[in-house]
Amino acid sequence: MMPADPLTTTVSTKGQVILPKALREQLHWPAGTRLVVENTERGVLLRPLQEAFAATRPEDVFGSLPPTGGPKSIDEMQAGLDAEIRKRHARGRY
């Protein structure tokens, strides 16, 4: 049995390389996937960029933390905001 033909591609005049669709699907790399490019002894290595956090929407995480303490009054919330503003102002932030 003959080995499968290697996947090939061509570098464009703009330096772009198109990865074969079968490979992109196998690796789960949709359009927009950010890749790290490394020059190694054996050639160029492409690997997905590991984002610090996965992209999320507010509705994906809303209510994921348990509540602590009871509900706050408007006056308590305003006092907390005022304290934070004073603290940041003292550090020269605002």
- The structural domains of the chain, with segments of one domain joined by +, span 15-51
What's the predicted TM-score (pTM) here?
A: 0.47
The predicted structure's pLDDT at residue 36: 94
* Cα–Cα dist 44/59, whole Å: 39
**Which residues are bridge partners to 47 per DSSP?**
36
Instruction: Say if residue 67's pLDDT is above 90.
Output: no
The larger pLDDT score, comparing residue 25 to residue 61, is at 25
The larger pLDDT score, comparing residue 51 to residue 45, is at 45
* Cα–Cα dist 61/55, whole Å: 11
pLDDT digits (tens, 9 = 90+) for 10-48: 999 999 999 999 999 999 999 999 999 999 999 999 999
